[in-house]
Amino acid sequence: MKQKKVISDAVIERLPLYYRDLLLLQDAGIDIISSEKLGERLGITPEQIRKDLTCFGAFGKKGVGYYVGELCQQIVEIIGLQQHWKVGIAGIGHLGWALANYKTFGRLGFRTTGLFDVDHRIIGQNVGGVIVTPISEMDKVIRKEGIQIGIITTPASVAQQVADQMVNAGIKGILSFAPLRLNVPDHIFVFREDLSIGLSRISYYLTNKPEEQ
Amino acid sequence: MKQKKVISDAVIERLPLYYRDLLLLQDAGIDIISSEKLGERLGITPEQIRKDLTCFGAFGKKGVGYYVGELCQQIVEIIGLQQHWKVGIAGIGHLGWALANYKTFGRLGFRTTGLFDVDHRIIGQNVGGVIVTPISEMDKVIRKEGIQIGIITTPASVAQQVADQMVNAGIKGILSFAPLRLNVPDHIFVFREDLSIGLSRISYYLTNKPEEQ
């Protein structure tokens, strides 16, 4: 029976990190790993790992560790990666281009099947195996391919318009790199990514940390 | 006198968001904005904005709003953006390329002055105005340019080695896109970015949300 326990956002954000490392372990032929070892690899305390993983049931063998394959499978099911989500990216500038070629998305089960832009120099190009189509045809491609998730890497000035177009075509979730709020119906899930946060955090830290000698 | 109050990570992460929107307002010639308007633009409640901004002193005029220019200047000083940090990027694949061309970094005051790779097809290319140099010369460039912040967009397998090289050359903070923990001395601040978190969050939400009709 499917478990419907609510899991905190912080745990959900750590699951892909666990999952990616478990895949690396699997590739290396490692079957069992302790929370200590996993913690060392990831920079997370073993206590936190055990707490996170018991959130959705116990998979470990006491004194031995977690079965890597089994844990992978469980995380896939919890995150919902077995769905093999189809993804469309609007705005194939540098960032869109990088995301279209980002291998980790594929490893996690996300398949990019639509790329959209307005620039005639980019339309028609093959980017990571997908041909860029005009954004005016985005509705058609989303419906035809059954794309469920949209990524917005357009300039902020057109992001809302692109989001509207995505929602109208049947997109259910949006990952947006635009620095502004998108107005979407309640049932659409928007996750906003901001690449400038990391550098700003570092700047804050370097500016405010106690001076060493 | 400089205020040394500790500000929570959550506030620090919202500050660049405020700042980027305030710059857009400034460009549009808007001098004053209320917390309600700012909240509407950003998808943050006005209460949260007022709370965040009083963390480091009151800039608003009651019943009128915040002075855009003044608030910008204050945020710059709190985050430490007036330092004009110099940034080096190691790993000029698709993501490194995108970051080297990411205009927001420049707008926030981060100047990319070093790009490093091992691939001879990439070395020597001009990417966003900077020539890519061999990673074997990274130490020399970091010292010569006085680069303080390193961005790691290399494959995970070499990320630790690159981090060591950066730290030895005098880097103080690292933004890492590698999915593994980096071992660095205590005084080095590492911020780990993971582009797969957003899609995983969306997948989780779409998998677990209550079904609508």
- Assigned token pair, A161: 């318009």
A148 or A2: whose pLDDT is higher? A148
Give domain status of residue A169, yes or no.
Answer: yes
What string of H, E and C letters represents the secondary structure of B158-213? Answer: HHHHHHHHHHHHCCCEEEECCCCCCCCCCCCEEEECCCHHHHHHHHHHHHHCCCCC
- The identity of residue A188, as a single letter, is I
Cβ contact A208–B80 (<8 Å): yes
A184 & A117 share domain: yes
Q: Provide the edge-to-edge strand list for the sheet that holds A60-61.
A: A32-33, A65-67, A60-61
Residue A138: partners with Cβ closer than 8 Å, 6 or more residues away: A88, A90, A114, A116, A162, A165, A166, A169
Question: Which residues in chain B have Cβ-Cβ distances shorter than 8 Å to A12?
Answer: 200-201, 204
Give domain status of residue A213, yes or no.
Answer: no
Q: Which residue of A has its CA nearest to B183?
A: A43
B67 & B97 share domain: no
| Structural domain of B26 | 9-81
A66 & A113 share domain: no
Give domain status of residue B206, yes or no.
Answer: no
pLDDT-based confidence at residue B173 (cuts at 50, 70, 90):
very high
Report chain A's terminal Cα–Cα distance, integer Å.
59
Tell me the pLDDT tens digit for each residue of A195-209: 988 999 899 999 987
Give domain status of residue A41, yes or no.
Answer: yes
- Nearest neighbour of A180 by CB, restricted to B21, B94, B192: B21
Lowest mean pLDDT among B29-38, B49-58, B157-166: B49-58
pLDDT-based confidence at residue A58 (cuts at 50, 70, 90):
low
Distance set, CA A19 to CA A208, B80, B197, B204 (Å): 34, 35, 11, 14
A21 & A58 share domain: yes
pLDDT for the residue numbered B1: 40
Distance between CA B50 and CA B54 in Å, rounded? 6
Q: Alpha helix (H) ranges present in chain B?
A: 9-27, 35-42, 46-54, 68-79, 94-100, 103-107, 138-145, 156-169, 196-208
Cβ contact A189–B202 (<8 Å): yes
- Nearest neighbour of A41 by CB, restricted to B81, B87, B181: B181
- Nearest neighbour of B199 by CB, restricted to A42, A101, A110: A110
Residue A87 pairs in a beta bridge with A112, A149
Q: Note whether B211 contacts A: Cβ–Cβ < 8 A.
A: no
| A25-34, A86-95, A179-188, B72-81, range with greatest mean pLDDT | A86-95
Tell me the pLDDT tens digit for each residue of B177-207: 988 889 999 999 999 998 988 999 899 999 9
B162 or B196: whose pLDDT is higher? B162
pLDDT-based confidence at residue B57 (cuts at 50, 70, 90):
low
Interface of A with B in 13-32 (CB under 8 A): 13, 15-17, 20-21, 24
Q: What does DSSP assign to residue A85?
A: -
B63 or B73: whose pLDDT is higher? B73
Q: Is position A91 annotated in a ligand binding site?
A: yes
A187 & A92 share domain: yes
Distance between CA B97 and CA A98 in Å, rounded? 8
Q: Pick from B193, B146, B154: which is nearest to B172 by CA?
A: B146
B132 & B155 share domain: yes
Q: What is the mean pLDDT of residues B44-54?
A: 87
Question: Which of B21, B22, B202 has the most A C-beta neighbours within 10 Å, making it the best mutation to test the interface with A?
Answer: B202
A26 & A45 share domain: yes
Say what the ipTM of the complex is.
0.88
Residue A152 pairs in a beta bridge with A90, A176
Q: Tell me, rounded to whole angstroms, the distance of Cα A3 from its chain centroid.
A: 22
Question: Which of A25, A202, A208 has the most B C-beta neighbours within 10 Å, making it the best mutation to test the interface with B?
Answer: A202
B5's enclosing H/E stretch is none
Collapsing DSSP to helix, strand or coil, A170 comes out as coil
Q: Domain of A135: which CATH number?
A: 3.40.50.720
pLDDT-based confidence at residue B11 (cuts at 50, 70, 90):
confident
- Indicate whether A10 pLDDT > 60: yes
A88 & A75 share domain: no
Q: Tell me, rounded to whole angstroms, the distance of Cα B117 from its chain centroid.
A: 21
pLDDT for the residue numbered B59: 65
Contact A150, A173 (CB under 8 A): yes
Q: Note whether A80 contacts B: Cβ–Cβ < 8 A.
A: yes
A145 & A163 share domain: yes
Give domain status of residue B1, yes or no.
Answer: no
- Assigned token pair, B118: 């091992």
Interface of A with B in 131-160 (CB under 8 A): 148-149, 151, 156
Tell me the pLDDT tens digit for each residue of B102-161: 988 998 899 999 999 999 999 999 999 999 999 999 999 999 999 999 999 999 899 999
B51 & B118 share domain: no
Q: What is the mean pLDDT of residues A34-60?
A: 83
- Assigned token pair, B144: 């010569």
Q: How far is A114 from chain B (nearest CA, A)?
A: 16
Give domain status of residue B118, yes or no.
Answer: yes
Q: Domain of A14: which CATH number?
A: 1.10.10.10
Cβ contact A204–B80 (<8 Å): yes
Residue B151 pairs in a beta bridge with B89, B175
Give domain status of residue A39, yes or no.
Answer: yes
Distance between CA A10 and CA A29 in Å, rounded? 29
Lowest mean pLDDT among B13-17, B99-103, B168-172: B13-17
Give domain status of residue B140, yes or no.
Answer: yes
A49 & A90 share domain: no
A14 & A67 share domain: yes
Structural domains in chain A (count): 2
Contact A159, A152 (CB under 8 A): yes
